[in-house]
Amino acid sequence: MKTLSEHLIQYAHYHRDQRNIYTHFAGIPLIVIALFSLLSFELFAGITATHLLLVGSLLFYFRLSLSMGLVMLGFSAGCYLIALQLVAMDSTTAWLGASVAVFVFGWVLQFIGHYFEGKKPAFVDDMVGLLIGPLFVMAEVLFLLGFAKSLQQQIDQKAGPVH
């Protein structure tokens, strides 16, 4: 299995334009919120598909890094709490319409960012990119806040600087 830095470096090759990264700051959380809402159907004994996605993705993140796993736990919890607001809507039509609208808007932002970048999304070449996207966004937030400088330097050395 690849390391945290290997995953982020591979993903970063598709994300060197700052405008693309900024669209991901909104687009990826919106997609995650919509997915958590849309997968909220019960599978068995109160367990939903969202719960399975949460557990599986968090195990993946914690396997890569304890500290980033904790960051992703916070990110996921925030997205989950917002998704619960969609799930609690008065009607199935309202819930489904809002969830699909959030999902589509998130993807529109993603594709606008990749238009700026001039490159296809990372998941086109590697489906694991769908899990790395949220991790990349949170890493970029940490970098903007002045944290994880050595990780940022590794990414910039291998993928090139953000412009």
CB atoms inside a 10 Å sphere around CB 97:
13
What band does 14 get if pLDDT is binned at 50, 70 and 90? very high
Report DSSP state, residue 124: G
* 115/151 Cα distance (integer angstroms): 26
In a domain, 151, yes or no: yes
Domain tally, the chain:
1
* 137/76 Cα distance (integer angstroms): 12
Radius of gyration of the chain (CA): 16
- SS3 string, 79-120, reads HHHHHHHHHCCCCHHHHHHHHHHHHHHHHHHHHHHHHHHCCC
Residue 8: domain span: 4-156
Q: Which tokens belong to 43?
A: 């599978």
Rounded average pLDDT over 2-25:
95
Tens digits of per-residue pLDDT, 87-130?
999 999 999 999 999 999 999 999 999 999 888 887 878 788 89
- Return the pLDDT at 112: 96
In a domain, 161, yes or no: no
- Return the pLDDT at 122: 79
In a domain, 113, yes or no: yes
Enumerate residues 6+ apart whose C-beta is below 8 A from 115.
none
Tens digits of per-residue pLDDT, 52-82?
999 999 999 999 999 999 999 999 999 999 9
- In this prediction the pTM is 0.95
- Does position 1 have pLDDT exceeding 90, yes or no? no
In a domain, 14, yes or no: yes
| 16 φ, ψ (degrees, to nearest 5) | -115, -10
Tens digits of per-residue pLDDT, 29-45?
999 999 999 999 999 99
Enumerate residues 6+ apart whose C-beta is below 8 A from 124.
none
* 159/79 Cα distance (integer angstroms): 29
In a domain, 162, yes or no: no
